[in-house]
Structure formats: structure tokens, C-alpha cells
């Protein structure tokens, strides 16, 4: 897995700011999977909060 996206791609130089963003290393399928995972986690936390408030 290597750097797939950067600010001045494809001809420009890779900057330090480009390599600090983890999503620059993910492919499209991996980004969708990450989004689903994060969404599921937030839904779970919201559910816990709602249970505490009822």
C-alpha cells in the first residue's frame, strides 16, 4: 500500500502535509469500508447516549 493521492499529483512533489493524511494511502474500496466502520461506531455511541438519557 503506497501513497495514492497528493496535492500536486501526479507531476508535483510530495510534501510532508501529504503524508500525514492517512486516507491518501487508501483505495476507493478501503475508503468506503472506513466510512462504514466510522458511521457504525458513531451510531453505536449515539445509541448508548440515548439509552443513558431515557
Q: What is the pLDDT of residues 1-54, one digit of tens each?
A: 576 776 777 777 877 777 766 666 678 898 899 999 999 999 999 999 999 987
DSSP letter, residue 13: P
Look at residue 27 in the predicted model and tell me its pLDDT. 80
20's CB contacts (< 8 A; 6+ apart) are none
Instruction: For residues 30 and 40, give the distance between their C-alpha atoms in angstroms, rounded to a whole number.
Output: 15
CB 24 within 8 A of CB 3: yes
Name the residue ranges covered by the structural domains of the chain.
Answer: 25-53
Look at residue 16 in the predicted model and tell me its pLDDT. 77
Which pTM value belongs to this model? Answer: 0.57
44-to-12, 16, 29, 53, 54 alpha-carbon distances in Å: 41, 35, 23, 15, 16
Residue with cell 507531476: 11
Amino acid at each position: 500500500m503506497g501513497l495514492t493521492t497528493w496535492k500536486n499529483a501526479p507531476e508535483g512533489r510530495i510534501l510532508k502535509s501529504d503524508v500525514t493524511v492517512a486516507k491518501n494511502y487508501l483505495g476507493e474500496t478501503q475508503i468506503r469500508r472506513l466510512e462504514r466502520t466510522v458511521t457504525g461506531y458513531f451510531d453505536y455511541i449515539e445509541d448508548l447516549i440515548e439509552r443513558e438519557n431515557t
